């Protein structure tokens, strides 16, 4: 992380792992600082448990040392190896799950469709609107916390055409101007950069280096889709114009529609923040560099290097702007001159679903005597990848509360 007198740049390696959060505030509206604070508290608690888990897995898990020839294809921490294969599917060494969830599902063992349908008839029917990282991860978490439920994801757009596919995918706290920020003990290998390292960045007064995780959306979203299907879920590609069109086919609706909530819920607080990035081939780039404001960054990944970026509030334009692309390349080359040699430049645009606070709460919709429980989970802005698993777990917990409420209010049969 490199600091100017008015800003920061961050230099990072490309390996690590993050924890989960329970970020729901009393009002159901979550501030970015609230997400980060709770995430850090949870990571600190989780790291103390990683040692024993790693020891148990070492007997059956091959380790890859950092700096070895295979380290670009495999990522390891705590006795676990992540393979980033050409097939685009990250796999864990035990259950194949980068989230740590097991593959146990009460419907998975029934290959007979009649038997499966028989079970589903007696379970809560849950619809998840949206198939970005929020919708998919929430569906996976629901299948874990609400076993036996029927889950259907409904979305107009799916991977690779979502904003999550465009996201740089780096898990990182927001930039802070302190030389030793409060989250220094959470990330791996935090240290101040040396004077020799800083000579490469003459306009910065001090810097920080640490390790974090980069999530490849192009591999992660298909993995989540497959996980949903393996757990018995369905994914339908169609537009939802009104949540009431899902009633009475579904008992509970989870709204992960992002910017679509302006129409679905009349939420005027959510707005787009346009982001444009470049995807280039530059395999010699091994470290992340991020400017303090977060506007200029270089993020190497498994398949390409992401150069960014822009933050254009209120801009709905999804078409790449050639002038902006030239500006991005110029800014990134100023940080890493070797990028002048980069080739296969692709332009990508996404609209971040931004809001003053993440909306993560329950709501009971009532219309003409009909009742539809809804769990809202949207408005993460640029921090979606960083906090998605924690907020997805919280959304799943709210869904479980709705399911229990439905069972409590259901009329009992009389003998």
What is residue 177's predicted lDDT score, i.e. its pLDDT? 59
b/e sequence 7-38, b meaning 16+ C-beta within 10 Å: bbbbbbbbbbbbbbbebbeeebbbebebbbbb
- Residue 41 pLDDT grade (very low, low, confident, very high; cuts 50, 70, 90): low
Q: What is the pLDDT of residues 352-390, one digit of tens each?
A: 999 999 999 999 999 999 999 999 999 999 889 989 999
What is residue 173's predicted lDDT score, i.e. its pLDDT? 64
What is residue 192's predicted lDDT score, i.e. its pLDDT? 86
Question: Stretch 331-344: mean pLDDT, rounded?
Answer: 94
- Residue 412 pLDDT grade (very low, low, confident, very high; cuts 50, 70, 90): low
What is residue 117's predicted lDDT score, i.e. its pLDDT? 37
Model confidence at 26: pLDDT above 50: no
Model confidence at 148: pLDDT above 50: yes
Strand partners, 150: 125
Q: Could you tell me the CA-to-CA distances from 393 to 40, 140, 179, 223, 406 in Å, in that order?
A: 16, 9, 33, 18, 20
Cβ atoms 380, 130 nearer than 8 A: no
What is residue 213's predicted lDDT score, i.e. its pLDDT? 85
b/e sequence 381-403, b meaning 16+ C-beta within 10 Å: bbbbbbbbbbbbbbbbbbbbebb
Rounded to 10 degrees, the C-alpha dihedral 162/220/17/347 comes to -50
Model confidence at 234: pLDDT above 80: yes
- Phi, psi (deg, nearest 5) at residue 185: -85, 0
Model confidence at 238: pLDDT above 80: yes
Question: Stretch 305-313: mean pLDDT, rounded?
Answer: 96
Question: Stretch 322-347: mean pLDDT, rounded?
Answer: 95
Least confident of 26-30, 189-193, 378-382: 26-30
Question: Stretch 249-268: mean pLDDT, rounded?
Answer: 97
How far the first Cα of the chain sits from its last, in Å, is 69
Residue 152 or 18, more confident: 152
What is residue 171's predicted lDDT score, i.e. its pLDDT? 75
Greatest mean pLDDT among 85-99, 162-176, 239-253 lies in 239-253
> What does pLDDT average to over the chain?
76
Residue 64 or 97, more confident: 97
- Phi, psi (deg, nearest 5) at residue 340: -60, -25
Peptide bond into 380 cis (omega under 30): no
Q: What is the pLDDT of residues 105-147, one digit of tens each?
A: 333 444 444 344 334 435 899 999 999 999 999 999 999 999 9
> pLDDT exceeding 70 applies to what percent of the chain?
67
Model confidence at 284: pLDDT above 90: yes
Q: What is this structure's pTM?
A: 0.71
Model confidence at 23: pLDDT above 60: no
Helices (H) and strands (E) in the chain, counts: 9, 19
Question: Stretch 169-190: mean pLDDT, rounded?
Answer: 73
């Amino acid at each position: 992380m490199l600091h100017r007198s008015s800003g920061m740049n961050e230099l990072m390696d490309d390996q690590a792992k993050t924890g989960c959060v329970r970020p729901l505030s009393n009002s159901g509206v979550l501030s970015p600082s609230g997400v980060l604070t709770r995430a850090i508290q949870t990571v600190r608690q989780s790291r103390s448990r990683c040692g024993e888990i790693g020891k148990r897995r070492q007997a059956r898990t091959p380790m890859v040392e950092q700096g070895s020839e295979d380290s670009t294809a495999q990522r390891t921490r705590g006795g676990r190896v992540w393979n980033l294969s050409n097939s685009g599917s990250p796999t864990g060494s035990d259950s194949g799950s980068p989230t740590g969830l097991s593959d146990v599902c009460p419907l998975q063992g029934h290959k007979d469709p009649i038997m499966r349908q028989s079970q589903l008839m007696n379970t809560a029917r849950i619809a998840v609107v949206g198939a970005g990282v929020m919708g998919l991860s929430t569906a996976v978490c629901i299948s874990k916390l609400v076993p036996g439920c029927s889950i259907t994801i409904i979305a107009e757009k799916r991977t690779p055409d979502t904003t999550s596919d465009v996201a740089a995918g780096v898990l990182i706290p927001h930039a802070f101007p302190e030389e030793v920020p409060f989250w220094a003990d959470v990330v791996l290998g935090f240290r101040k950069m040396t004077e020799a390292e800083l000579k490469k960045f003459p306009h910065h007064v001090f810097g920080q280096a640490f390790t974090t995780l980069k999530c490849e959306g192009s591999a992660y979203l298909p993995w989540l889709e497959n996980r949903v299907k393996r757990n018995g879920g369905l994914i339908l590609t169609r537009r939802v114009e009104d949540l009431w069109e899902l009633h009475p086919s579904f008992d509970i609706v989870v709204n992960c529609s992002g910017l679509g909530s302006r129409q679905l819920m009349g939420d005027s607080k959510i707005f787009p923040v346009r982001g444009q990035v470049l995807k280039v081939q530059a395999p010699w780039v091994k470290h992340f560099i991020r400017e303090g404001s977060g506007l200029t960054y270089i993020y190497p990944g498994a398949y390409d290097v992401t150069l960014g970026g822009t933050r254009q509030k209120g801009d709905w334009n999804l078409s790449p702007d050639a002038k902006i692309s030239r500006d991005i390349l110029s800014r990134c080359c100023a940080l890493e001159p070797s990028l002048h040699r980069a080739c296969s430049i692709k332009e990508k645009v996404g609209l971040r679903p931004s809001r003053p606070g993440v909306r993560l709460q329950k709501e009971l919709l009532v219309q003409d005597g009909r009742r539809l429980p809804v769990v809202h989970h949207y408005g993460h802005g640029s921090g979606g990848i960083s906090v998605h698993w924690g907020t997805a777990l919280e959304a799943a917990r709210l869904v479980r509360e709705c399911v229990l409420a439905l069972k409590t209010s259901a009329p009992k049969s009389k003998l």
